[in-house]
Amino acid sequence: MITDFNPKRSSIGKRINRKLEVLQEWERSGIPIGQMLPASLAEVRTWSQPSLGVQAIGSPSDFTTTHPQHGNSIKAIWASLERLKAKYLLLGGVALGGFAKEAAATTHLAGLERRIAEGEERLVHVASQWTMTKQALESEKRRAQSFAQMVTRKDEIISEKNEEIAELQRQLKSRRGVRLVD
């Protein structure tokens, strides 16, 4: 249980130990609904909550895992904080109780279901567009093949006419007295 505290400013070691006590108590009995769980060691350092006896620590150099005097306590705070973050569903750092967790999970699930429905609608729309594009492409392909066949046929006709012209020119040359003018 969280014990009584002295509201006067205490030593850095006592403030660090108090923060650790509160976090360890929360690990044992749960984060009280509405209490803010610091998100990082930097937030733990500046965390101040007089109702819990938690006081801020001003100097960042006193609150490091490598500090010769307080480093092990800071590491314990960090480990406790990580376990708490993993254990409890948090929204904006606020611990949620049982009903609140269920409500948050239901809201999250509803959001996921809505996103799935939107995704399915987009998929249907994209599939429809793909089908229309495929049909238009096939139609253009048939038109291109038709034009290619027409061009081939026209080329054949031109070749036939050129051969016919060449034959007629030979026939004209073979007749006496007829002269071709180019």
d(CA 34, CA 104): 14
pLDDT at 74 over 80: yes
The verdict on pTM exceeding 0.75 is no
The average confidence (pLDDT) of the chain is 85
List the chain domain ranges. Answer: 12-96, 98-182
pLDDT at 67 over 70: yes
* pLDDT-derived band at 174, boundaries 50, 70, 90: confident
* Helix, strand and coil percent figures for the chain, each rounded to 5: 70, 5, 30
Cβ contacts of 157 within 8 Å, gap of 6 or more = none
Is 24:86 a contact under the CB 8 Å cutoff? no
Lowest mean pLDDT among 31-35, 84-88, 104-108, 148-152: 104-108
Nearest to 47 by CA among 18, 27, 87, 24: 18
Q: How many CA atoms lie within 13 A of 13 on its CB side?
A: 4
Residues 83-111: tens digit of each pLDDT:
888 777 555 555 555 555 566 677 778 88
101 vs 139, residue with greater confidence: 139
Which amino acid is located at 170 in the chain? R
